[in-house]
Structure 1
Amino acid sequence: MTQLSDKEKEAFEIRRSFDALGVNGDGKVSVSEVLKGTLYPGFNPASKEATDMIKELDPKGSGLVDFGQYEMFMKTVIKKIEYEKNLFMKAFRKFDKNGDGSVSYEELKEVFLARGKSEKDVQDFFNEADLNKDGRVDYEEFVKWFSKT
């Protein structure tokens, strides 16, 4: 069995999400179909975002988007998602001084204090970010905390 390349996986996910959205099978996606969500990992637009997406994709205002338009838009969305993931990983690595995949209280303290933050800032962040209370902030916890702020 052959493995799909990243580009092939991306194309598959885009097609799958389009097909799932186009529930009436007409080869186009309507605003109401987009509002049901794109099903692409990391992207699930709210009502206003979906309406804005249709406006961007459908400048003529027909209210419908074909697969070619959808595919181009989703590739842009995917690039944005990947860019954000890379930013989070770079930021996380600045905190994870020893490279063990998690941030200890001491590592966080070192970075925060060097940036002029207080000990209370360190405690507040750590208590909020350490969701599973194991005394370390892993990458997923780090992303969740920064995504909500």
Structure 2
Amino acid sequence: MKRFALSAALVLGLTPLSAAHAQDMPGQRILQRLDSNGDGSISKDEMLAARERQFKKLDRNGDGAIDEKEIEGARDAVMDRAEAAQARLGNRWRRMDANGDGKVSEDEFRSRMPLFDLADRNGDGKLSADEIAVIRKHFAGRAG
């Protein structure tokens, strides 16, 4: 699902924000997700807790073991999400092709930024930290 968020950011015009953030803070997303006590590092206990959460997600029937059927179900869910993301990406690409020639020119690509427009709640042509947080929260909710 993280790849979908990156693809969505690319298509919707937020690439500079995402890429800049990722380059400035390598591993920051993982750290934020796993660093439960907020000390800026991941302890072995925090990693074990993350592994326990992952195990519980995969052990859908709660029998204390992950069987082939559960892995197949997880694999199917990943594939379903990937197919849906591909469809959304294709739809967005077609909408960007303003002249309908089957190609998205640089001008067409640059002119379509619906996510920016949606995130710019006050319409000032700039994204504040609060506006970015709202849109990130929205995508995080869709990814989870």
Question: Which category describes the TM-score, using the shorter chain as reference length?
Answer: 0.3 to 0.5
Which structure's residues are more often helix, by fraction? 2
- Larger RCO (alpha carbons 8 Å, 6+ apart): 2
Which structure's residues are more often strand, by fraction? 1
What is the TM-score normalised by the length of structure 1? 0.35
